[in-house]
């Protein structure tokens, strides 16, 4: 099986965002706006946490997929490219997470 990437999913989301397809969840989310998409992102995050706490691997996989999808939808609505997030993560790999967090401005 070929490796599916987040970049491919980002492209699919972008293509479906304004397709007007009545059967597209992505198109419906974009039509409802970022408030609804962010709400769904939060719901999926909670469901992912619950699956992890319950040690339910099948649910954790499924909820993680939902979480990543909704996260990419919110990024797309906000005009933030996945590549920008990956560059941010890449920039953090050269230092400890504790030092990185301490370097962030407060507020």
CA dist 19 and 30 (Å) reads 10
Q: Are 9 and 72 in contact (CB under 8 A)?
A: yes
**Residues 84-103 pLDDT 10s:** 999 999 998 887 767 767 77
**Average pLDDT of 11-36?**
96
CA dist 92 and 53 (Å) reads 27
For the chain, the 3-state helix, strand and coil shares in percent, each to the nearest 5, are: 75, 0, 25
Q: Are 27 and 36 in contact (CB under 8 A)?
A: no
**Average pLDDT of 19-40?**
96
This prediction's pTM: 0.85
**Residues 31-90 pLDDT 10s:** 999 999 999 999 999 999 999 999 999 999 999 999 999 999 999 999 999 999 999 999
């Amino acid at each position: 099986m070929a490796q599916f990437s987040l970049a491919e999913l980002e492209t699919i989301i972008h293509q479906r965002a304004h397709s007007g397809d009545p059967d597209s969840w992505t198109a419906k989310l974009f039509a409802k706006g970022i408030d609804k998409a962010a709400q769904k992102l939060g719901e999926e995050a909670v469901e992912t946490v619950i699956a992890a706490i319950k040690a339910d691997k099948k649910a954790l996989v499924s909820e993680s997929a939902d979480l990543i999808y909704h996260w990419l939808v919110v990024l797309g609505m906000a005009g933030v490219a996945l590549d920008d997030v990956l560059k941010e993560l890449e920039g953090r790999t050269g230092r400890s997470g504790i030092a990185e967090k301490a370097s962030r401005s407060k507020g």
